[in-house]
C-alpha cells in the first residue's frame, strides 16, 4: 500500500509561529522526516499514522498520513479521533500529582486512609478479602506499576485478582492498580474522574477533541483500527471512564498535552519531578509478560524505572521518559528528553506502526537509550 500524506497541521494555528525554534528541527529536517515516515509506512503497510514534535516544551510540528478508514479512503487528519489507549495512564498520573499538590492525597499513604470502608468490602474488590497486602498499596506504588497484580484479573487461571509479589517489590504492569486508584479518587475523595480529567488536563491544555468517554461529535471524524494482519476493527464507543485507558483523542491534542506535561504546567516543581522520578526499579527483560522474576542487565545499565504513569531511563545526554499505548489495532508512543523538553508523539490506528517506531524515533530524536527490547520484546529479541 502506498502511504498518502493527507494533512500537515498549520504551525501558525498551534504555536503562533512557523518553526521559530532556532535550535530545534529545521524545515528541511522535518520534510525529510515526513518523507521517511511515509516510506516506512508503505514498506510495512501501516494504514494510518499521526505524529507530533515538541521542542523546548512547545509544539513544533504536527502531521498525519494515510487513512482513518482505508475502505472509504477517508484520510487521517490531525484532528481525527484516535484511541489513546494506555497514554491515558500518563495523563492520569499527571492529574493525581495535581491532587498531591493540593494536599488531597499523599503519594506514600495507604489507600486505606482515603476509603470510608475497607477495599474488599466493595464487590469489585472482594477477591482481596483474604489478602491484607491491599493495605500496603499507595498512589505511588499503583502509578509506578508496583502492585504485584497481573495486568487484568481475567488473565488469571481462576479469574481472581491476586498479588503475585508484595506491593512495591517489583514492577508488574497492571491496569487493575489504576482501577483501584480511580476507585479511591471517586469513592474516597468524592471526585468525578471524567470531569476532573476534563477540567484539569484537557481544558487546561486546550484539548478540544479529547474525552475520557465517548462523545457523539466524535462520530464524523474518528479513526477505525487495523490489526497486524490488516483486519479492520471499527472504533468502539467507550461508555465507561477508565483511568487505565479510556481516552479518545487526536494527535493535535496529544501534542498540546505532552508539551504541557514536559513543561510541568499546572504542577509545582516538586510534583513535576515526581512524575519522572525512578519510583519503581525495573529489572525485567520485557514489559510483557508482566509476572516474571527474570532480570535483564540492560535495564540497570540505563537506569530503567517506572515513574508515575511513565517509564524513565538515562544516557549521557540526560533523563528520558516514555509511555506507550497498545491494543490489537492501536499503536501509540510518546518519548521525551527531559533536559531539552523535546518529545516525539506517535499515534497509529494500525498496530503495524509499532514495527517502524524505533526507526522514526531515532531519526527524530537522534541516538537514544530507548529500551525497545523492553517495550516491544516480541519484536526486538536479541
Are residue 181 and residue 234 in the same domain, yes or no?
A: no
Residue 1 banded pLDDT, cuts 50, 70, 90 = very low
Residue 3 banded pLDDT, cuts 50, 70, 90 = very low
Are residue 323 and residue 220 in the same domain, yes or no?
A: yes
pLDDT for 34 equals 98
380 part of a folded domain: no
279 part of a folded domain: yes
Is the pLDDT at 8 greater than 90? The verdict is no
pLDDT for 102 equals 98
277 part of a folded domain: yes
Are residue 110 and residue 238 in the same domain, yes or no?
A: no
Is the pLDDT at 45 greater than 70? The verdict is yes
Are residue 24 and residue 46 in the same domain, yes or no?
A: yes
CB 207 within 8 A of CB 253: yes
312 part of a folded domain: yes
Q: What is the mean pLDDT of residues 348-368?
A: 97
86 part of a folded domain: yes
268-323 pLDDT tens trace:
999 999 999 999 999 999 999 999 999 999 999 999 999 999 999 999 999 999 99
Are residue 315 and residue 195 in the same domain, yes or no?
A: yes
Are residue 158 and residue 263 in the same domain, yes or no?
A: no
Residue 238 banded pLDDT, cuts 50, 70, 90 = confident
pLDDT for 21 equals 36
Residues 6+ apart with CB under 8 A from 40: 46, 356, 359, 360
- For the chain, the domain total comes to 2
351 part of a folded domain: yes
**Last residue of a domain, which of 188, 213, 243?**
188
382 part of a folded domain: no
For 123-145, give one letter per residue: b (16+ CB within 10 A) or e. eebebbeebeebebbbbbbbbbb
- Tell me which H or E stretch contains 305: strand 305-306
Are residue 87 and residue 109 in the same domain, yes or no?
A: no
Question: Is the pTM for the entire model greater than 0.85?
Answer: yes
Q: How does DSSP assign 160-222, residue by residue? A: ----SS-TTSS----HHHHHHHHHIIIIIS---HHHHHIIIIITTTT-TT-BSS--GGGGGGB
If we measure between CA atoms, which residue out of 222, 230, 220 comes closest to residue 250? Answer: 222
**Last residue of a domain, which of 188, 218, 248?**
188
Are residue 351 and residue 252 in the same domain, yes or no?
A: yes
CATH code assigned at 333 = 3.40.710.10
Residue 319, Ramachandran bin (φ over 0: left; ψ between -120 and 50: alpha; else beta): beta
Cell numbers for 358: 524505533
142 part of a folded domain: yes
**Last residue of a domain, which of 145, 164, 188?**
188
Peptide bond into 264 cis (omega under 30): no
175-207 pLDDT tens trace:
999 999 999 999 999 999 999 999 999 999 999
The whole domain housing 68 covers: 5-97+191-375
* Per-residue DSSP letter, 91: H
pLDDT for 327 equals 96
Cell numbers for 247: 481516552
Is the pLDDT at 152 greater than 60? The verdict is yes
97-143 pLDDT tens trace:
999 999 999 999 999 999 999 999 999 999 999 999 999 999 999 99
Is the pLDDT at 11 greater than 60? The verdict is no
Are residue 317 and residue 211 in the same domain, yes or no?
A: yes
Are residue 311 and residue 279 in the same domain, yes or no?
A: yes
Exposure of 219 by Cβ count < 10 A (0-12 exposed, 13-18 middle, 19+ buried)?
exposed
Are residue 76 and residue 125 in the same domain, yes or no?
A: no
Are residue 333 and residue 286 in the same domain, yes or no?
A: yes
pLDDT for 380 equals 60
What percent of the chain is modeled with pLDDT above 90?
A: 92
Amino acid at each position: 500500500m502506498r502511504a498518502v500524506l493527507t494533512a500537515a497541521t498549520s504551525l501558525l494555528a498551534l504555536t503562533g509561529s512557523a518553526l521559530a525554534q532556532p535550535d530545534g528541527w529545521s524545515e528541511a529536517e522535518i520534510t525529510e522526516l515526513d518523507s521517511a515516515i511515509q516510506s516506512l509506512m508503505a514498506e510495512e503497510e501501516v494504514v494510518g499514522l499521526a505524529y507530533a514534535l515538541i521542542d523546548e516544551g512547545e509544539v513544533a510540528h504536527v502531521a498525519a498520513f494515510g487513512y482513518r478508514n482505508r475502505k472509504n479512503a477517508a484520510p487521517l487528519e490531525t484532528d481525527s479521533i484516535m484511541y489513546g489507549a494506555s497514554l491515558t495512564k500518563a495523563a492520569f498520573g499527571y492529574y493525581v500529582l495535581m491532587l498531591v499538590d493540593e494536599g488531597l492525597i499523599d503519594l506514600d499513604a495507604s489507600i486505606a486512609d482515603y476509603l470510608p470502608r475497607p477495599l474488599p468490602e466493595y464487590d469489585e474488590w472482594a477477591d482481596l478479602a483474604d489478602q491484607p497486602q491491599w493495605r500496603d498499596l499507595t498512589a505511588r506504588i499503583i502509578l509506578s506499576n508496583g502492585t504485584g497484580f497481573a495486568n487484568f484479573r481475567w488473565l488469571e487461571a481462576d479469574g481472581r485478582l491476586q498479588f503475585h509479589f508484595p506491593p512495591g517489590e517489583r514492577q508488574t504492569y497492571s491496569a487493575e492498580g489504576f482501577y483501584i486508584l480511580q476507585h479511591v479518587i471517586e469513592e474516597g475523595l468524592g471526585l468525578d474522574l471524567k470531569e476532573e480529567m476534563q477540567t484539569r488536563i484537557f481544558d487546561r491544555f486546550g484539548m478540544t477533541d479529547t474525552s475520557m468517554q465517548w462523545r457523539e461529535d466524535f462520530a464524523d471524524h474518528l479513526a477505525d483500527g487495523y490489526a497486524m494482519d490488516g483486519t479492520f476493527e471499527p472504533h468502539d464507543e467507550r461508555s465507561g471512564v477508565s483511568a487505565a485507558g479510556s481516552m479518545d483523542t487526536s494527535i493535535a491534542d496529544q501534542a498540546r498535552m505532552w508539551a504541557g506535561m514536559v513543561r510541568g504546567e499546572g504542577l509545582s516543581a516538586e510534583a513535576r519531578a515526581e512524575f519522572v522520578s525512578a519510583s519503581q526499579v525495573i529489572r525485567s527483560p520485557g514489559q510483557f509478560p508482566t509476572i516474571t522474576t527474570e532480570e535483564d542487565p540492560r535495564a540497570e545499565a540505563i537506569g530503567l524505572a517506572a515513574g508515575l504513569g511513565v517509564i524513565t531511563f538515562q544516557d549521557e545526554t540526560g533523563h528520558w521518559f516514555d509511555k506507550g499505548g497498545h491494543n490489537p489495532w492501536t499503536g501509540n508512543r510518546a518519548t521525551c528528553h527531559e533536559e531539552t523538553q523535546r518529545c516525539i508523539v506517535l499515534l497509529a490506528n494500525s498496530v503495524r506502526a509499532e514495527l517502524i517506531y524505533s526507526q522514526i524515533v531515532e531519526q527524530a530524536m537522534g541516538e537514544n537509550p530507548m529500551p525497545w527490547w523492553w517495550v516491544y520484546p516480541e519484536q526486538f529479541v536479541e
